[in-house]
Amino acid sequence: MDKIEHIGIAVKNLEASNQLFAKLLGVPPYKMEEVASEGVRTSFFESGPNKVELLEATSADSPIAKFLEKRGEGIHHIAFAVEDIVSELARLKKEGFQLLNEIPKKGADNKLVAFLHPKGTNGVLVELCQEIKAKEGR
Ligand code: ZN
């Protein structure tokens, strides 16, 4: 695994939290994106070499809605950058980690992502993400 790519924070109201984090970090979000398959709207901030992702639920059965219901607003996941998500998932599976996604899926911010079950990682939801590189010759 590589560096921490971003920290994901679950919020109730993305607009309000965008303003709050813009004040906190001194920069506006560089991107906002809806991931319909996950039932979330996200925004991304840069803070030096690191990123913060804010996540708001767009439906009542979204994982973020469930998280907010159970735990309230706060840190939702930590994402690590990986070079090769498929081989990293295979390695972690072999090590006994429980994968929430056996097959990486397309996440926000042009990434292939997969999650590990927080039960096996001291209660921390861990995301792996691999940058999707633009294919040449398209
Ligand atoms: Zn994330």
Q: How far is the CA of 69 from the centre of ligand 1 (A)?
A: 19
What pLDDT is attached to residue 135? Answer: 66
Q: How far is the CA of 35 from the centre of ligand 1 (A)?
A: 11
Question: Which residue intervals of the chain are DSSP H helices?
Answer: 14-25, 63-71, 85-94
Beta-carbon contacts of residue 36 (< 8 Å; ≥ 6 apart): 58
Output Rg (C-alpha) for the chain, integer angstroms. 15
What pLDDT is attached to residue 138? Answer: 45
21-77 pLDDT per residue, tens: 999 999 999 999 998 888 999 999 999 989 999 999 999 999 999 999 999 999 999
